[in-house]
Structure 1
Amino acid sequence: MTLDRSNIVEFIADIFERRGAESYLGEAVSMSEHMLQGAVLAEKEGAPEELVAAALLHDIGHYTSEFGPMSLGDARDNLHEEAGAHVLEPFFPPVITECVRLHVPAKRYLCATNADYFDRLSEASKHTLMLQGGPMSAEEVKAFEAHPYWREAVKVRIWDDEGKTPGVVTPEFRHYVPLLERVVAGT
């Protein structure tokens, strides 16, 4: 199947439906529960549709094998943030793809700039933080804050961290299909 703006949302919905119940890297929720919780948290804060979409899709990079061969190189960290942004870029606006790309650097940023943030991370997030480079240096903080979407990425990161609660009732992925179709059509 050739992906384009007319079928990308349905393609992603199919991935969620087939693979969403997979384990989420040692967390107490599945991948789909985690990403859906992020979207719900964004909605509850009255976030714009683009940020709800970014919260929903921030971990899509864990499924990049679904999009065809990737060549991001072998590394201990799977670079899911880069992979996810890469597969979404042809279809979604930059604020979404950059939030996906920056949600891991946002964790590193928050650990460097907020003394209490590290203690709020799950054990799995603490582990992956070390694989992802640990807290940012002062130079990295400055560079991160120069990015046009850094504030939005920090919001998505916070929803990411908060979206790991077992038993939270969320809408099904299909609830978000119209929203995703609108943001794709708006690009």
Structure 2
Amino acid sequence: MALSLDDIRGLFEQYGSLSYSGEPVTQLEHALQSGALAEEEGAGEELVAAAFLHDLGHLLNRKGETPSARGIDDLHQYFALPFLRAILPEAVLEPIRLHVDAKRCLCAIDPTYFGKLSVDSVRSLELQGGIFSDDDAQAFLRKPYAEDALRVRRWDDRAKVAHRVTPDIGHFLEVVGGVMERYVPA
């Protein structure tokens, strides 16, 4: 079953107040900050939508706050895809699907990246398979949408600032709605 804009809003209304994995922001604040960072860097609407929705799986899989602290990889990067596939293009879906592997790749190719990860990101990295080998990182970088996924990942890492001012959920739902209106499923 595909999600509608009202369903997405409802998920954020119902579960958006959950803490974002031990960070000083909620799930909704993290999504809003991710989308705002994408806009600030001039990303196109598809990538802004991906940044805003990249962790929607946390709201759908209902594993609670900070599943990694309980040794659970909630596979959130895959969880939302079946619900979004009918309404959004690959340019939104693939960066969402790849944003966890983007963290694994960045740890392999950027010597300073690992040291910037939050405590929960380090913990979840191990549950998600750890740092890529050089070969795995190079294979990742050849995938379509890999560069977009790396951008989403970097915004994800920076979208954890308490009380940061962002546009509201209505703004980002309009962006998602615009992408949906242009999308014609194959």
Q: TM-score, normalised by structure 2?
A: 0.89
- The answer to whether the aligner puts 1:163 opposite 2:169 as a matched pair is no
CA-CA distance at 1:14 after TM superposition: 1.3
Query: Which whole-Å deviations, capped at 9, do the CAs of 1:123-169 have from their partners, x for residues lacking one?
Result: 11111111111110122112211211000000000000000011101
Q: Distance in 1 between matches of 2:51 and 2:2?
A: 22
Q: For residues 90 and 3 of structure 1, do their structure 2 counterparts lie closer, same or farther at Cα, with a shift above 3 Å needed?
A: closer
- The answer to whether the aligner puts 1:45 opposite 2:41 as a matched pair is yes
Question: 1:180 — aligned with what?
Answer: 176
Task: State the one-letter code of the partner of 1:158.
Answer: R
Question: 2:88 — aligned with what?
Answer: 92
Equivalent pairs: percent with the same residue? Answer: 42
Structure 2: where are the runs of 5+ without partners? Answer: 63-70
Q: Distance in 2 between matches of 1:124 and 1:76?
A: 12
Task: State the one-letter code of the partner of 1:105.
Answer: D
**Secondary structure class of the residue paired with 1:77:** coil
- The answer to whether the aligner puts 1:20 opposite 2:23 as a matched pair is no
Root mean square deviation, CA, Å: 1.5
- The answer to whether the aligner puts 1:141 opposite 2:130 as a matched pair is no
**Secondary structure class of the residue paired with 1:133:** coil
Task: State the one-letter code of the partner of 1:89.
Answer: R
Structure 1: where are the runs of 5+ without partners? Answer: 67-74
Question: 1:71 — aligned with what?
Answer: none
Moved more, 57-66 or 115-124: 57-66
Question: 1:103 — aligned with what?
Answer: 99
* Count of aligned residue pairs for this structure pair: 175
Q: Distance in 1 between matches of 2:34 and 2:96?
A: 12
Query: Which whole-Å deviations, capped at 9, do the CAs of 1:9-59 have from their partners, x for residues lacking one?
Result: 111011112211111111111100111100000011111001110000000
Q: For residues 147 and 61 of structure 1, do their structure 2 counterparts lie closer, same or farther at Cα, with a shift above 3 Å needed?
A: same
Query: Which whole-Å deviations, capped at 9, do the CAs of 1:88-107 have from their partners, x for residues lacking one?
Result: 11211101110110000000
**Secondary structure class of the residue paired with 1:78:** coil
CA-CA distance at 1:65 after TM superposition: 4.2
The 8 Å contact of residues 61 and 76 in structure 2, kept in 1 or not, is answered as: no
Task: State the one-letter code of the partner of 1:138.
Answer: D
Q: Distance in 1 between matches of 2:2 and 2:119?
A: 36
The 8 Å contact of residues 84 and 93 in structure 2, kept in 1 or not, is answered as: yes
Q: Distance in 2 between matches of 1:17 and 1:170?
A: 17
Question: 1:72 — aligned with what?
Answer: none
- The answer to whether the aligner puts 1:34 opposite 2:30 as a matched pair is yes
The 8 Å contact of residues 61 and 74 in structure 2, kept in 1 or not, is answered as: no
Q: Distance in 1 between matches of 2:12 and 2:82?
A: 18
